[in-house]
Amino acid sequence: MTHPTAWYPLPGYWRLLRFGIGLAGAGEDQEAVDAWIRHQWGVELLLSAGLQLPLRVTPYVEFQSSVGFMHLYLYNRDAFSFTYSLSVLAGVEWFIVARVTIGIAVGWRRTVARFEGAALFGDSFYLQVSFGL
């Protein structure tokens, strides 16, 4: 995930706005792959918008949305799904040198996956630790 408004010198109060774009992916580890016939994975595109206080240590609150695609192996057959999610998170980024950052955030996420007319919902609370270049 990249947040250009966190480091790009926008004029005036525009620096208080936080926008981001990112690409995420997930898959099973090798032990899980060996235990099952098919590998399960997913990819998603993330967009975020929020507020920040642009200092060397930058606190922020942001809302994220994502759209993606997931592959599962269910009931002895491959299942492909369109997914989407909404999230809210609050955190802080420390700009160590120029654009090099470390950060920590906490958040909540609701994910929806649709398989052949049925919808699966999942709520997650998470702790995010980040390193940025």
Question: For residue 37, is pLDDT > 60?
Answer: no
Q: Of 46-50, 54-58, 100-104, which range is least confident?
A: 54-58
Q: Which residue has the higher pLDDT, 118 or 96?
A: 96
Side-chain-side CA neighbours of 69 within 13 Å: the count stands at 1
Whether residue 92 contacts residue 106, with contact meaning beta carbons closer than 8 Å, is answered with: no
Predicted local distance difference test score (pLDDT) of residue 59: 95
> pLDDT tens across 71-87, in order?
877 677 777 888 999 99
Asked if 70 and 81 touch (Cβ cutoff 8 Å), the reply is yes
The number of folded domains in the chain is: 1
pLDDT band (50, 70, 90) for residue 103: very high
**pTM of the predicted structure, to 2 decimals:** 0.78
The percent of residues above 70 in pLDDT, for the chain, comes to 89
Q: What is the pLDDT of residues 6-35, one digit of tens each?
A: 667 778 788 889 999 999 888 776 665 566
Question: Is there a contact between 60 and 18 (Cβ–Cβ < 8 Å)?
Answer: yes
Q: Determine contact, residues 89/116, Cβ cutoff 8 Å.
A: no
**Where in the sequence is the domain holding 71, given as residue range(s)?**
4-132
Task: List the CATH number of the domain containing 115.
Answer: 2.40.160
